[in-house]
């Protein structure tokens, strides 16, 4: 017997979480664009990633304690520690490690590839997510839904391409945005700051970088695979094991902290030592961290009550929304490529929402009657 879907005001939490995720991602992209605007003091976003995990850890710990007291009327720290680090807690180390590797590969790819190539190829993570949903969760996707996913991939690639062209026209560098992972979106800000010099100095001899382009393409392909695998594996843990969403987020953030701290050391250790851990921080940066932390919690709810594929649709729609908003906020232009991409995204969303056709099984009643009579004939004698 299936569990009853939680609802708020009669609306299933599944749909509420998807809408909230789309709004959150739209806000995040806009806040990030403001935080890295021209003339602003740069900051090390690897430190912001680390702070993001700390914030999620604190919030989820507080919510877990609150729910424990609400349900049992008491709280024992030792029981809490046993829940966090005991049992199957080690399972959360796997997606944490996969996300860490994915983010570093994304960093390599964004340096080796031009912004347009990166934006387009990285959308393949939509298809890898669907593939792992079939393999790990034994989910059945009809041909129509696969067609919708291909349309979504193409559509969001075109939208991203148009955005990338707009940024290039404005002499702005690339921001690789990955709404799925808690660190890549903020990590993109630092990549933009570092890539500014890289793209300007490397433009003249870009034709001599074929091996680097190959490495970049390989890195982005592996990152797409790891993105789908990590997201679906986390979904499997949330849906098939005991433990609240808050507890699972505590475990995921805890195992992510060492990787985040290592990224600070490897990417920005020298700069952090010279300028300080919070160099360049202001209210916009803090707002970006808060928005990304909220996103990590919303994603967990979406994965728990919906799935990673629907999450992909929500985040894709959020990119379209933020691109439209950037017209008013940043003077971006909407071209033919963007219109075609948006139409593909909306069409894919409609196709995917169509109910599956019922599977009709044809039964040979004649053979069943023959079998029935053959079984009944001895007793009739």
Least confident of 41-55, 171-185, 216-230: 171-185
Least confident of 31-40, 135-144, 225-234: 31-40
pLDDT at position 377: 56
Looking up tokens 């909220």 gives: 294
Residue 152 has pLDDT above 90, yes or no: yes
State pLDDT tens for residues 364-376. 555 555 555 555 5
* Average pLDDT for 350-372: 65
Taken in order 19, 21, 24, 25, the sign of the CA dihedral is: negative
Contacts of 106 (CB under 8 A, 6+ apart): 122, 176, 178, 184, 187, 219, 220, 223
Angstrom distance (rounded) from CA 177 to CA 171 = 18
Contact present, 319 and 25 (Cβ < 8 Å): yes
Residue 184 has pLDDT above 50, yes or no: no
Residue 179 has pLDDT above 70, yes or no: no
pLDDT at position 242: 81
The model's pTM is 0.74
What is the rounded average pLDDT for all residues in the chain?
Answer: 79
Within a 10 A sphere around the Cβ of 276, how many other Cβ atoms? 12
């Amino acid at each position: 017997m299936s569990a009853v879907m939680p609802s708020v005001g009669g609306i299933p939490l599944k749909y509420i979480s998807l809408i909230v995720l789309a709004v959150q991602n739209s806000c995040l992209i806009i806040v990030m664009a403001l935080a890295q605007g021209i003339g602003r003091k740069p900051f090390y976003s690897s430190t912001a990633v680390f702070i993001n995990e700390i914030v999620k850890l604190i919030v989820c710990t507080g919510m877990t304690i609150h729910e424990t007291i609400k349900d049992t009327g008491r709280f024992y720290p030792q029981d809490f520690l046993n829940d966090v680090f005991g049992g199957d807690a080690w399972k959360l180390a796997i997606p944490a490690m996969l996300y860490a590797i994915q983010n570093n590969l994304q960093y390599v790819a964004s340096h080796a590839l031009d912004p347009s190539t990166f934006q387009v190829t990285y959308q393949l993570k939509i298809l890898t997510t669907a593939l792992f949903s079939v393999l790990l969760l034994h989910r059945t996707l009809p041909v129509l839904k696969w067609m919708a996913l291909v349309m979504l991939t193409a559509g969001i690639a075109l939208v991203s391409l148009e955005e990338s062209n707009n940024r290039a026209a404005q002499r702005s560098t690339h921001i690789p945005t990955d709404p799925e992972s808690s660190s890549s979106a903020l990590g993109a800000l630092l990549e933009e700051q570092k890539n500014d010099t890289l793209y300007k100095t490397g433009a003249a001899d870009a034709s001599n970088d074929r091996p680097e382009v190959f490495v970049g393409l390989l890195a982005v392909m592996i990152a797409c695979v790891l993105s789908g695998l990590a997201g679906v594996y986390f979904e499997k843990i949330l849906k098939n094991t005991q433990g609240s969403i808050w507890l699972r987020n505590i475990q995921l953030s805890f195992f992510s902290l060492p990787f985040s701290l290592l990224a600070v050391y490897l990417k920005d250790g020298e700069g952090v030592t010279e300028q300080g851990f919070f160099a360049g921080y202001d209210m916009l940066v803090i707002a970006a961290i808060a928005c990304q932390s909220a996103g990590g919690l919303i994603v967990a709810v979406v994965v728990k009550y919906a799935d990673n594929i629907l999450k992909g649709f929500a985040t894709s729609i959020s990119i379209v929304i933020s691109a439209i908003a950037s017209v008013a906020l940043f003077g971006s232009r909407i071209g033919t490529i963007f219109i075609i991409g948006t139409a593909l995204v909306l069409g894919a969303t409609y196709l995917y929402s169509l109910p599956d056709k019922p599977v009709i099984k044809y039964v040979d009643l004649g053979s069943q009657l023959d079998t029935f009579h053959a079984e009944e004939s001895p007793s009739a004698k």
